[in-house]
Structure formats: C-alpha cells, structure tokens
A = this chain, B = another copy of it.
Amino acid sequence: MKGITTLRVGDSVDHYLLIKQSTTGVTTVGKPFMSLVLQDKSGDIEAKLWDTSEEHERLYGAEQIVKVGGEIHDYRGKLQLRVKSIRPVKTDEGIGITDLVPSSEKSKEELMTELTPYLFEMNNPNIQRLTRHLLKKHHQAFTTYPAATRNHHDYASGLIDHVVSMLRLGKALAELYPTLNKDLLYAGIMLHDVGKVIELSGPVATSYTIEGNLLGHISIMVNEIAMAAKELEIEGEEVMLLQHLVLSHHGKEEWGSPKRPMVREAEILHYIDNIDAKMAMLNRALEKTNPGEFTERLFPLENRSFYRPTFD
C-alpha cells in the first residue's frame, strides 16, 4: 500500500490512518463539522467530516485509528482527502499505532547495534559501568522515545537515532582533536537526553509529564546518575563529571543549564548536540523546498528562512 502522502489528485484511498489531530467547529448556519489530520508513516493529510454528531466526536478523537475510504482532491493548491467512508479500526485487524507513525529510518535494533561498540570502546570502568547501567535500566524507553515533541527527532526512536548520529560526529571530533577524552564524550552523548524518557509521555502523541515540566530532563538525569553511582558503589570524579556534562549540555543558563560547560568534553558535547539537531531541522525543511526558493521561517533556528541553491 502506498503512503498517503505519495498519492496524487484523483487517486483513491482505502487506508488505515491514525488521527493525529481532531478539532470541531461550527458553520455559521449552525452545523457542526470536524477537521481531522490523518497520518501514516509517510506523513499526514487533512480531511473534513461534515454534519457531525457527538457520536462522531467520541469516535474520531486524536490517537484513534480509522479505516478511511475516499479520494485525493486538490483544495486550493493543497492536497486534501475527501472522505467517503470512515470507521474505527477493529481489534482483529491487527493495526497498531506504531504501524502508522513516522519513525527513524533504521530500526531501533539496528540503532542499538550501531551504538553498542561505542560502549565497548570506553576504557574507564567507572564511566562504562555507569553508562551501561543507565542505558539498560531505561532500555525500553530509550530505544522507542522521540528526542522531542517537535522540530527534530520527534518520532518514535528519535532519541536513540539522535544519539547514534551524535556518536558518529563525536568519533570524528575525537580523532581530529585527540585531547578529547573519548570515554567522557561518548558517555555524555549517550546519557545527555536520557532524562527525556521521564520528561516526555511516550513515543506517540508526545507531551510533557508533570515531572518533566517541574524538574526537566536535565535535573532528572543528574539524579539518575547519582542514584546509579550509589547502587553500583562507584565513587570518584567520573560521577561528578558525567553529571556536569548532562547538566551543562544546553550551553547557557538561559537555555536551562544551571551551569555552563566547564570541562572540555562538556563544551564539545553542546556543539555536537546543536549541529546534529540543526542539520536534522535544515534537512527536513530544505527537502520540502524547491531549488531557488526559501524555506518557511524556522522558529527553533531563530526564525530564519533558509535558501536552497539552484545547483547541487
């Protein structure tokens, strides 16, 4: 079955789709309607349901999976799905949310396979044990959570995807600048965002938890390291340094780090995080932009528009 965003005008639709957003409105003649955003792994598309009832609102809320029949049509320059039939999925149809949300290109297993050798490259036993313990403790969430609710790596397994990409860059930097301590740098990369598995609600329809709002993933993770050290009976500067790398990785107090980087690897960790996030955002935005044109304004990139050159 072709992805919903790959269809063209006139193509007919007979797809399982996940309702990503559902809002209700009322026309000026008083008739209720619903606006849906429907998605599968390929992306999302808009649809309208007219003359809806409270029953519709109950059945077709966010995070519901539906079977939709209809057709793609052009609505003032933008593709829309004209709904001819819609019904909730049945349990025996075997369609789950993870079948319908975008995710990392590689599977979580492949990503874990790529990550593991970095763990084995670590020479310092304290750093290695702490890192392995924490990744093991949070293994399930670490391999399935997104790294954010939007902007970049905001899909299932986005967190480990981001970490693996950062590790590649970390390795390159450690080779170019041999004064960098690889153990600290790799451990910092692996752990820096693990607190997100508590800060965020989960891989789908991700939102902030109360603890995420009140404490933040940085403080959560600094705690986790302290408790792991206690459990493993590890003492020594490594514990403090890993905590420092985590708590300073946003780079500035204004951006939520209670201390700025004060260790060489902490400074570089902040840069690696930044570059990987920005490349992800730029690639996503420029892919949707024609050569010779500008992207829409990108809020997390200081609201800039980027230009896509006419040559490759």
In the bound complex, do residue A213 and residue B311 qualify as a contact, i.e. CB atoms below 8 Å apart?
A: no
Residues of chain B within 8 A (CB-CB) of A302 are 260
A118 at the interface (CB under 8 A from B): no
Bound Cα distance from A151 to B243, whole angstroms:
29
The one of B28, B216, B244, B283 that contacts A258, using a Cβ cutoff of 8 Å = B216
Q: Is the interface of A mostly helix, strand, loop or mixed?
A: helix
Question: A15-38 vs B: 1/0 string, CB under 8 Å?
Answer: 000000000111111010100000
One complex includes copies of this chain to the number of 6
Residues of chain B within 8 A (CB-CB) of A28 are 25, 27-29, 31, 33
In the bound complex, do residue A305 and residue B223 qualify as a contact, i.e. CB atoms below 8 Å apart?
A: no
Minimum C-beta distance from A257 to chain B (A): 7
The one of B176, B210, B219, B256 that contacts A219, using a Cβ cutoff of 8 Å = B219
A84 at the interface (CB under 8 A from B): no
Range for the number of chain A residues in contact with chain B: 35 or more
Q: Which residues of A contact B (CB under 8 A)?
A: 24-29, 31, 33, 76, 124, 165, 168-169, 172-173, 175-177, 179, 181, 184, 210-211, 213-216, 218-219, 222-223, 226-227, 230, 237-238, 240-241, 243-244, 247, 253-264, 267-268, 271, 274-275, 278-279, 282-283, 286, 292, 294, 301-302, 304-307, 309-312
